């Protein structure tokens, strides 16, 4: 058994033919955890060989639309397929604030389709199993697989003005994977990442592009995302062996622009392994990148 991390989406709110909306799949044996579900997540999961009925849980970091726009497709398609697989409702793990209402509204959006399918095929309407938790200010366990082998912890991250934003730490028998969600570089993520084998972290070239965005709306946007140089400094301090960059801001349009993300992380002093993310990039704790 190996623990595998697959980037199901590395994009930003602007649509891209090459990058789906933000999402990360962490798998250990038959435990499959999807963190966030940006646009086209369902299609990327299919490309990765995972069907909605195989998901053990969907973990939401926060409710910015680019991270949750495919929740509806994921939950509804799992429901449509349930008469074939019998896996039941999708477990959803998220902060007990705005998320439960959001998920209820997502399920209600297809009411007409649900009524028709219940009359002819389905045994009942779509549901989720909510694992709602209080916003944790220090890392706290929020979910554990029924087999007991996979533990998920969460902590509040710094993505103001979004208050209910978290990152996740997934511990398997082989090691630890941390997924930052959207955040500035902060001590909360540092605490979550202590001893991690792989840190999947959003990356924004805010220092390098500061003069270009000064006085624009992008200056505000950059202020609540993770600067690449500061991220490199944090990863160096923590001794994280493998840093995976995702949710790349701005989206690189060439291999050279992608390489600049790693260059700036190195400027922060980080000397470990860096993977600049692309959709379906896969990392295992035993085998490295492929």
Active centre residues (catalytic): 66
Q: Beta strand 198-204 with 140-144: parallel, antiparallel or unpaired?
A: unpaired
Q: What secondary structure does DSSP assign to 26-72, as a single string? A: EEETTEEEEE---TTHHHHHHHTT--GGG-SEEE-S---HHHHTTHH
- Neighbouring C-alpha atoms within 13 Å toward the C-beta of 272: 22
Q: Specify the length of the chain in residues.
A: 290
Q: If you search the block for the tokens 């940006």, which residue do you land on?
A: 38
Rounded-to-5 percentages of helix, strand, coil across the chain: 30, 30, 40
Cα–Cα distance between 174 and 177 in angstroms, integer?
Answer: 10
DSSP 51: -
168 - beta bridge partners? Answer: 154, 179
Cα–Cα distance between 146 and 32 in angstroms, integer?
Answer: 12
- Among 143, 211, 135, 166, smallest CA distance to 67 is for 166
Cα–Cα distance between 228 and 204 in angstroms, integer?
Answer: 6
Q: Beta strand 3-9 with 282-284: parallel, antiparallel or unpaired?
A: antiparallel
């Amino acid at each position: 058994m190996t623990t595998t991390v697959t980037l199901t989406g590395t994009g930003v709110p602007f649509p891209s033919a090459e990058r789906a909306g933000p999402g990360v799949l962490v798998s250990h044996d038959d435990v499959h955890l999807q963190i966030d579900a940006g646009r086209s997540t369902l299609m990327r999961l299919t490309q990765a060989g995972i069907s909605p009925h195989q998901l053990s849980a969907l973990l939401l970091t926060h409710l910015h639309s680019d991270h949750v726009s495919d929740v509806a497709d994921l939950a509804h398609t799992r429901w449509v397929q349930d008469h074939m697989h019998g896996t039941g409702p999708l477990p959803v793990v998220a902060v007990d604030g705005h998320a439960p209402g959001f998920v209820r509204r997502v399920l209600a959006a297809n009411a007409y389709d649900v009524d028709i399918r219940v009359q002819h095929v389905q045994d009942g309407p779509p549901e989720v199993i909510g694992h709602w938790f209080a916003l944790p200010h220090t890392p706290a366990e929020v979910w554990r697989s029924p087999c007991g082998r996979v533990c998920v912890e969460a902590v509040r991250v710094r993505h103001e003005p979004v208050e209910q934003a978290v990152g996740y730490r997934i511990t398997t028998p082989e090691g630890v994977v941390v997924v930052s969600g959207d955040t500035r570089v902060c001590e909360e993520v540092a605490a979550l990442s202590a001893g991690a084998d792989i840190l999947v972290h959003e990356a924004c070239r805010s220092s390098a592009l500061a003069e270009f965005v000064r006085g624009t709306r992008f200056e505000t946007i950059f202020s609540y995302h993770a600067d690449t140089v500061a991220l490199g400094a944090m990863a160096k301090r923590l001794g994280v062996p493998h840093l995976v960059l995702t949710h790349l801001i701005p989206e690189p349009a060439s291999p050279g622009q992608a390489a600049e993300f790693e260059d700036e992380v190195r400027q922060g002093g980080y000397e470990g392994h860096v993977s600049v993310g692309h959709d379906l990039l896969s990392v295992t704790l035993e085998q490295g990148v492929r």
